[in-house]
Amino acid sequence: MDCQYLPLTATGQFSNLFLDYISQKEALQPYYNRFPSLEAFEEQFKNRAFDDTKRQTLVEVLERQYQHIPNKPDFSILAQPNTFTVTTGHQLNIFTGPLYVLYKWITTVNLAKKLNETYPQYRFVPIYWLAAEDHDFAEINHFTLFGKSYTWETEQRGAVGRMNPQELKAIFDEMPEKLFLFEDAYLKHAKLSDAVRWYVNELLGKEGLICLDADDADLKRLFAPIIKDELLNRPTYDIVTKTTRQLEALGYKTQITPREINLFYLDDQLRERIVTDGEDSFEVLNTDLRFSKEEIQALVDEHPERFSPNVVLRPVYQEVILPNLAYIGGPSEVPYWLQLKGIFDHFKIPFPLLMPRNFALYVNPASARKMEKLGVSPEELFWDEVKLRRSYIERISENSLDLSEQKACLEQCFAEILHKSVQVDKSLEGAVLAEKTRLMHTIDHLEKRLKKTEEKNYETVLNQLMTLKNKLFPNGGIQERTENYLNFQLNDPQFIQKLLGIFDPLDSRMLVLKD
């Protein structure tokens, strides 16, 4: 497989905050501890103490969650004091969702492998954090396969991980071919989180990837002190708001907005925000649930599983229950973690290394042949359509379409005319400059007409170019955010293995893969 690399800055796809982080801009250094490198990991695990009781709880929960899965991993390794995790997380998109979800898994798996090779005296385990408590069903209920969109319709509500996925049979009935892996996952499990664990284990379990569903009473009990602090003292709002203002003052657009209380109330068919109408009274929005200060503290003790962290506190929950060293995230996740370091400092929890996932554009053999025939580079294909068309025409046209030389000549002519005119009468200056502006606009208009006319002359080849562009950038967006991995895996059963062999978790460039 042919590999080419582009700096992310050349793709036009990423925010300034993300790009400045990976370029280690000095102004951002207060918002994280260490930038990810192999050397940084050594410092990270030397300072990452983790309680043995928490380790044992983690092992017991994973054993329970994997009890019906054949060939399950050996979780006992996580009980050892020299074992650490590296983690990625994502929503439970049906059929894995966009291609980049697979990229997150593979980056995490390969990072654990690299660390195990580099530091053999320690063990490193890749974790996929199932976003089972998320309730934004509209973000996970659809996917695209071979150009056709499929949508899961349901009346179920609440945390998506608790939803019954057997309704997906309607989608299987629409599909032109059998997807046995997903049929076994979705139609033989009563919870979406169990179904996702099943197919992820089938896809990457042999590579060591472990799925964790943190919607669990035993794990929430470990988080209970922070739940109480958030309910009673509400420290996170002020901390994150302060950091957000600092980042915005530096010119960055931030990702998340904290709430006064960054917790949801979670129950079957229900995940709603907890708010306060006073120091000693709490309510759950859109319900009749009300609690006094004493009642809500008692509820945390008796049923910690009924409290669900939002995007502000979820990362903290993760670091409380895992012996974690790094979080692998995408171009939206890494920036919002930068808003959160102050919370980790407040709770005295080590801030993990923030690692960008791998990025890739996969070019199948047919598209690779078209690229070669058209003589277009990967970087050019990342340009917008207007720039791509004009640049391509200027390159292949036998005629010169650039009138910059003529514009320069006109500038010189009018400089001389202006010089002579003001010597005769200074009041002529305005008329001369106005005439110059009019003629310059005329030349600009003629230049655009030349280019449009030439585009018509090359209409066939431009159509081929745009077809290629649309193939690799569906709906005008980057491939990995739209396409599903099955579009490639079904045509090439070795697709995942190829990515495992190529992705370097410490390389933050766009990888262009040509088969």
Q: How many domains does the chain have?
A: 4
Mean pLDDT of 480-487: 94
Tell whether 333 is covered by a domain. Answer: no
pLDDT (tens digit, 9 = 90+) per residue, 252-271? Answer: 999 999 999 999 999 999 99
Q: Clarify whether residues 67 and 208 are in a common domain.
A: yes
Write out the residue range of the structural domain in which residue 409 sits.
Answer: 398-457
Q: Model-level pTM greater than 0.75?
A: yes
In this predicted structure, the answer to whether residue 483 has a pLDDT above a threshold of 60 is yes
Q: Is the separation of the CB atoms in 114 and 505 below 8 Å?
A: yes
Q: Clarify whether residues 153 and 299 are in a common domain.
A: no
Q: Is the separation of the CB atoms in 213 and 197 below 8 Å?
A: yes
Q: Clarify whether residues 343 and 441 are in a common domain.
A: no
In whole angstroms, how far apart are CA 454 and each of 376, 458, 466, 500? 18, 6, 16, 45
Tell whether 120 is covered by a domain. Answer: yes
Tell whether 102 is covered by a domain. Answer: yes
pLDDT (tens digit, 9 = 90+) per residue, 136-161? Answer: 999 999 999 988 999 999 999 999 99
Question: What DSSP character marks residue 203?
Answer: H
Q: Clarify whether residues 496 and 379 are in a common domain.
A: yes
| CA neighbor of 43 nearest in space, from 342, 353, 347 | 353
Show which of 181, 215, 249 is a domain's final residue: 215
Tell whether 234 is covered by a domain. Answer: yes
Q: Clarify whether residues 444 and 465 are in a common domain.
A: no
pLDDT (tens digit, 9 = 90+) per residue, 177-224? Answer: 899 999 999 999 999 999 999 999 999 999 999 999 999 999 999 999
Determine the Cα–Cα distance for residues 200 and 195; give it in Å rounded to an integer: 9
Question: What per-residue confidence (pLDDT) applies to 490?
Answer: 93
Show which of 199, 215, 231 is a domain's final residue: 215
Tell whether 128 is covered by a domain. Answer: yes
